[in-house]
Amino acid sequence: MRTITKITTQKKNTERYNIFTDEGSGEQYAFSVDAAVLIKFGLKKGLDLDDFLYTEICYEDDIRKSYNLALQYLARRMRSELEVRKYLMEKNVDPPIIQEVILKLYDYKFLDDEQYACSFVRTQMKTTDKGAVLIQRELKDRGISTALIEKAMVLYPFADQLETAKKLCEKMGGRNTKDSERVLKQKLEQMLIRKGFDYDVISEAVSEAAAGMKNDEMDALKFQAQKLHRKYENETGFEYERKMKQALFRKGFSLEQIENYLTSFSRTPPFQ
């Protein structure tokens, strides 16, 4: 049987108290508790602690310490339940304690995955150019349920997704004026896929963007041909023409465009 002999306030944290006990061999430090635990169990000098009560006090104090740790983590920004669980696990908090902390956080409204999901979607819409697919994936990675993700994604309607995708296309298209239309479309599609847009948004955004910034195919063809000419200018006539056609076709130009271009000029003028 332990008997409390002294209770002192910690110097660095006045919300915690050091408990000293005597088990028959003299007074010694036993454990420390949060102020709330001290009050809950009515700890005071002279109180006897059996093993069961001692275990209950330590368990309750572990919950309080872990709860305060979670509050500090949540003070930086909103977190999902899964993020809090992972954080406490990294701090070596036992699973039963984590579960108690999570329930307590929900009781006091410090955790709310639905509110978190909605806030996350709004923030991504305002501060990034991510598509809905990528945002949903990130929410899933944070432990948000499918049902809550669907609710939150209502805040990012198709029209807004399309507007963001079109702006990205316009920006990228302006930097790729020397590409064939086919290659430009491929680049735009690949970029939007990486950004996390779905097929319907990509299809409409690329179509509208391509229609609005029609490249001059002949200018683009001439630009690419000039570059390739420097690469193959030492080839023989037949080999030169074969490699030029293959390379320009891979660049996205049609065989008809390539034939017309190469046969409209002698070998030298187009590349001067």
Q: Which residue has the higher pLDDT, 16 or 239?
A: 16
Asked whether the whole model's pTM tops 0.75, one would answer: no
| Residues 94, 193: Cα–Cα separation, whole Å | 41
Q: What is the reported pLDDT for 271? A: 47
The span from the CA of 179 to the CA of 177, in Å, is 6
CA distances from 217 to 152, 251, 260 (A): 43, 11, 12
Confidence check: pLDDT of 64 > 70: yes
Enter the DSSP assignment of 177.
T
Q: What is the pLDDT of residues 106-126, one digit of tens each?
A: 999 999 999 999 999 999 999
DSSP string, 249-261: HHTT--HHHHHHH
Instruction: Please compute the mean of the pLDDT values over residues 167-194 and round it to a whole number.
Output: 81
CA 10/CA 251 separation, integer angstroms: 73
pLDDT of residue 253: 78
pLDDT at 39 over 90: yes
What letter does residue 271 receive in the DSSP assignment?
A: G
- Residue with the bigger pLDDT between 75 and 236: it is 75
